[in-house]
Structure 1
Amino acid sequence: MTGVPLPYRVTAVRPETADTVSVALAPAGAAVLAPFAAGQFAMVYAFGVGEIPVSVSRIDRHELTHTVRSVGAVSAALCALRPGDLVGLRGPFGTGWDLGRARGRDVLVVAGGIGLAPLRPLLDAVLAAPHAYGRLNLLVGARSAEDLLYARQLRAWAGAHGPLNCAVAVDRPSPGWPGRVGVVTALLDDARFTPANTTAYVCGPEVMIRATARALRAVDVPADRIRVSLERNMRCATGTCGHCQLGGVLLCRDGAVIGWDRAGSLLSVREL
């Protein structure tokens, strides 16, 4: 990990939705960041604007992809990047998904909205070694079909007859939408997993994380086997601003991925 941003060059930009793009980056010089694990994040610096924490959405050795939604000045600048442009990267930061917990177990991945982005490297890793795991389920929810990330890949996953059981639901269906309608937790009924032998990975809006974790606990998935990402709370990545503090936990230092056995009590306190 480095405290000084290293220059990375944009190699490709792919629009995902009306306000979200995936930006592929490669080292612009000989210096490279240490390898990232699935679930970790970088501080991405838009020159002359500022930096924000963004999880990696694909890892290909030293090349990284970040999926960014335009919600502020820095993210808007990142969404406006073009191939050949430079950004600064610091990292890796964060605890990662800890996929080792899932070896030999069923894997349940639940994503809401842009929460699919930090989960994609985990899916890549499991699909690269399917015999190391049990059954693999991917459940994806979004407000509408137009808000779904990686739409082409989702269609391929949903239509494949391989190790991945993929299901998608939207809240607001457009005319002709062929899939499920409703919240992502409704898809749990059709997922194939044995609760006591499952590791679940959940990322999305906080209300969706709470609902999913509670639904999984209701069918006896162990709380420490439900891994959630609370990355939306982060800002500085160094534990100095306090923006991501929940109780005694600094998410940029101790997370952002933590088990529901810890996250549940922390978020319950915030509800009061």
Structure 2
Amino acid sequence: MTGVPVPYRVTRVREETADTVSLTLAPAGPAGLARFWPGQFAMVYAFGVGEIPVSVSRIHRHQLVHTVRSVGAVSAALCALRPGDRVGLRGPFGTGWELVRAAGQGLAAGQDLLVVAGGIGLAPLRPVVLAALAEPRRYGRLNLLVGARTADDLVYADQIRAWSTVHGPLHCAVTVDRPTPAWRGHVGVVTTLLNSAAFDPRHTTACVCGPEVMIRATARDLLHRGLPAHRIRVSLERNVRCATGHCGHCQLGGVLLCRDGPVVGWDRACSLTSVREL
């Protein structure tokens, strides 16, 4: 981890939705940042504009992929980048989904993995899915449940389509809140997809990311189904701002999410101010 931005070069720009792009970044110099783990984030600096925290959405050797939605000046500048442009990266920061560590706490070989994503919350969860697919024998049943406002708001649409139609170790289901006449899939909030997922709550670890109301609802339903709170891992990245613990923006109770998160167990997250149980 470094406090000085390391230059990275944009090697590919993929438009995910009308306001969201995925940037593939490679070190512009001889060395890049230290290894990232799924769930961790970088501070991505748009030169002359500013920096924002963005989780890694794919880790491929020395390259990183960051998926960015244009919602402010910095994210808009990042979404306007083209191959060959440069950005600055600091990191890695924060806790990850820690599937390896979780294996010693209940996600042992043959046990189930449940991934629940809302909107762009799929971005920090995609590395979890890719890692699980790379080692399918390590897990029991793999479930990916994805919710979005509309079909046009789905990130990684082609990949989701492939995951949904190809028979294999992954059960992938998608739902939207606002269907168009052309939509033939499920309609409703993402928690309604839990009925279609086969998992044993006593032997499952869940990874959840999305809007906070979705996180609360998902955690509540999983608790009712018997999943222990410490095995419901959630990302509260939306609250992070500086990554150094100095600005206090991400402080929830006694927790600084940039230092102690953004991924935490629900046993800890449920007591934090902004994610208190409904």
Q: Which residue of 2 aligns with 1:155?
A: 161
What is the CA–CA distance in structure 2 between the aligned matches of 1:96 and 1:264, rounded to whole Å? 18
Which AA in structure 2 matches 1:181? V
Contact 2:2/2:91 (8 A) holds in 1:
yes
Cα 1:250/1:143, change in 2 over 3 Å = same
Do residues 261 (structure 1) and 273 (structure 2) align? no
Cα 1:130/1:271, change in 2 over 3 Å = closer
The gaps in structure 2 that reach 5 residues or longer are none
Contact 2:143/2:197 (8 A) holds in 1:
yes
Do residues 111 (structure 1) and 114 (structure 2) align? no
| 1:31 Cα offset (Å) | 2.1
* SS of corresponding position for 2:272: helix
Do residues 211 (structure 1) and 217 (structure 2) align? yes
What is the CA–CA distance in structure 2 between the aligned matches of 1:190 and 1:259, rounded to whole Å? 24
| 1:178 Cα offset (Å) | 1.2
Q: How does 1:49-64 map to 2 (within 5 A)?
A: 49-64=49-64
Which AA in structure 2 matches 1:128? A
What is the CA–CA distance in structure 1 between the aligned matches of 2:61 and 2:213, rounded to whole Å? 34
Which AA in structure 2 matches 1:84? G
Q: Which residue of 2 aligns with 1:27?
A: 27
Q: How does 1:90-109 map to 2 (within 5 A)?
A: 90-100=90-100, 101=102, 102-104=107-109, 105-109=111-115
* SS of corresponding position for 1:265: coil
- Greater shift after overlay, 249-258 or 103-112? 103-112
Q: Which residue of 2 aligns with 1:187?
A: 193
Cα 1:269/1:174, change in 2 over 3 Å = closer
What is the CA–CA distance in structure 2 between the aligned matches of 1:231 and 1:268, rounded to whole Å? 12
The gaps in structure 1 that reach 5 residues or longer are none
The count of aligned residue pairs is 272
Q: How does 1:218-229 map to 2 (within 5 A)?
A: 218-229=224-235
What is the CA–CA distance in structure 1 between the aligned matches of 2:28 and 2:242, rounded to whole Å? 24
Do residues 16 (structure 1) and 19 (structure 2) align? no
What is the CA–CA distance in structure 2 between the aligned matches of 1:192 and 1:125, rounded to whole Å? 20
Do residues 39 (structure 1) and 39 (structure 2) align? yes
Which AA in structure 2 matches 1:140? V
What is the CA–CA distance in structure 1 between the aligned matches of 2:220 and 2:143, rounded to whole Å? 18
Q: Which residue of 2 aligns with 1:242?
A: 248
Q: Which residue of 1 aligns with 2:89?
A: 89
Q: Which residue of 1 aligns with 2:126?
A: 120
Do residues 6 (structure 1) and 12 (structure 2) align? no
Task: Output one character per residue of 1:68-121: Cα deviation in whole Å (capped at 9) or x when no partner.
Answer: 000000000000000000000000001000112134220000000000000001
Within the candidate set 135, 148, 170, 1:142 is matched to 148
What is the CA–CA distance in structure 2 between the aligned matches of 1:111 and 1:18, rounded to whole Å? 19
| 1:270 Cα offset (Å) | 5.7
Task: Output one character per residue of 1:104-141: Cα deviation in whole Å (capped at 9) or x when no partner.
Answer: 22000000000000000111110000000110000000
What is the CA–CA distance in structure 1 between the aligned matches of 2:277 and 2:198, rounded to whole Å? 32
In the superposition, the TM-score normalised over structure 2's length comes to 0.96
Q: Which residue of 2 aligns with 1:74?
A: 74
Task: Output one character per residue of 1:205-250: Cα deviation in whole Å (capped at 9) or x when no partner.
Answer: 0000000000000001010000000000010000000000010000
* SS of corresponding position for 1:224: helix
Task: Output one character per residue of 1:235-272: Cα deviation in whole Å (capped at 9) or x when no partner.
Answer: 00000000000100000000000000000111477679
Which AA in structure 2 matches 1:241? C
Task: Output one character per residue of 1:14-69: Cα deviation in whole Å (capped at 9) or x when no partner.
Answer: 00001000000000011210000000000000000000000000000110000000
In the superposition, the TM-score normalised over structure 1's length comes to 0.98
Contact 2:212/2:275 (8 A) holds in 1:
no
* SS of corresponding position for 2:76: helix
Q: Percent identity?
A: 76
Do residues 48 (structure 1) and 54 (structure 2) align? no
* SS of corresponding position for 1:139: strand
Within the candidate set 252, 261, 268, 2:258 is matched to 252
